[in-house]
A and B are shown apart, each in its own frame.
Chain A
Amino acid sequence: MNSTILACSNCSWQYGVQSPSPSGTLYGGFVRVKMPSSLPSLNCLYVIWASVSSANYFYQTSLGYSPSYGWHISAGSTNPGVACDLACPPFQVGGSTFRPQPGKTYEIGIRFVPQTGGSYQVHLYFVDVSSGTLYDIYVVTDSGTMTTPVGGILESYDIDNSDLNKLGNGNCLEVVNANWLTAPYVSAQWPHGYVYGPTTQTCKQNPDGSYSGYQAVPGGITINKIASGDFKIGYQVGGSQYQSGYQLW
């Protein structure tokens, strides 16, 4: 009987684009992700997330594939108000997992809404752009303001090129808008996009069997700028595997 070895790394790799650091008060940010025309099953986790941190906590809203959950949208945070922290289950509607659809566009983001007394209500949300429906995945409270760049980061444990090719050229994820929020419900495109990562090989096994560090981004993973705020990311999607800090636009 033939068997197939499913190659997933013990550590994840991360690669993407981020905004500049905010120079004034901002209220979060988002990326709009256009789905590929077909949504294959993969061997390993493969997600793209929008992220931002306050002085206290990290927030992310993600979209992608998990071997356990299939295609899904989720979110996570180090804010203790999100009990599942960075390992949250898929978002559900009416008891069923919300399934992003091929070819459609979803806005995944984080919104800081000021509250009386100086704190913020932080919304980890997504928008089904085709229907215009906004879904709050988690809403939590934070006393801190947004302090970091907004990220649009691809993360995966997949290091099998043939598997990665399923979401490669011609069938890849495309970020079609990369915005930050200049007011809670007002957005503007990042003035610049800078490359985040690629992570390098620092993955090692610990004495207790767990792993620390990161996987090197596979050589075929590239970023292809289409326009300002618009780029394809995935296996051999054109462009290049730009290095950290490269100004994409």
Chain B
Amino acid sequence: MQHKRTIIISAIVAILLVLGLVYSSQVLWSQNHSIPSSTQDVSSFVERSQNLYMHPTSSPICSPPDLVNISADDFLSLKVTSSDTLLLSGIPYHYEVLNQSSGAAQIDNYTVSYGRPISSSTYSAGYPVTFSIQWVNGTRIGGFTYYVVLQQISSYPVSVIVYRIANAFFAFVNYDPGCSTSYQSMWLVAVTS
């Protein structure tokens, strides 16, 4: 009887250990996961946004494109050259595309972590996503909050919001050609040496 009980307890512990490992690996994966995007996908997205900026939709509900913290010349100079490199004003950056919910990414000497409130039902019109940037040694460099607001994003055929911290920049590129609330977004972080 005692032997049977030991076997059952051991089995339960083993199952819990396996479940724990699976859960841990999922958490680790989700925290480090970025949207898989081919160079071509990212490049196409940037080019489509730039084209819409140059030739914005003529619609009574579309406002002129909105650039925040980036000049038109800089935005139009943005060029994706490989799966991890882009040029901004001729300066090479390593970049990574971020998923649009929460997670973490390590790029060069930076660690980026970000997330949105778990419970969003107290928010109206939109919600915040809070970013924190650290050196890989854990020293915090800074942070910012990006807001996802549908009515704001869909008022522009193209909107680009940039945050700069140390040698990194974060770009939130949205386009909605018809200003119809069916927008496309790309979030990316880029670092220069």
Residues of A whose CB lies within 8 Å of any CB of B are 8, 10-12, 14, 18, 20-22, 44-45, 47, 49, 51, 53, 55-56, 58, 60, 62, 66, 68, 74, 76, 78, 85-87, 147-149, 151, 153, 155, 157, 192, 194, 196-197, 199-200, 206-212, 214, 244-245
Contacts and interface: CB of A to CB of B under 8 A. Distances in A.
A207 B26 contact: yes
Interface string B104-125: 0000000000011110111111
A210 B116 contact: yes
Contacts of B33: 207
Contacts of A244: 178, 180-182
Given A199-B181, A210-B117, 14 more contacts: A12-B120, A14-B150, A47-B124, A55-B66, A62-B124, A76-B125, A87-B122, A147-B64, A196-B181, A206-B102, A208-B101, A208-B118, A210-B115, A210-B120
B121 A199 contact: no
Interface string B48-64: 00000000000111111
A53 B121 contact: no
Give the 6 A-B residue pairs with the shortest CB-CB distance, closest first.
A207-B30, A206-B101, A148-B155, A244-B180, A78-B147, A20-B60
B126 interface: yes
A212 B103 CA distance: 13
B178 A245 contact: yes
Interface of B: 26-27, 29-31, 33, 59-64, 66, 68, 100-103, 115-118, 120-128, 145, 147, 149-152, 154-156, 178-182
A85 B147 contact: yes
Nearest to A60: B125
A214 B124 CA distance: 12
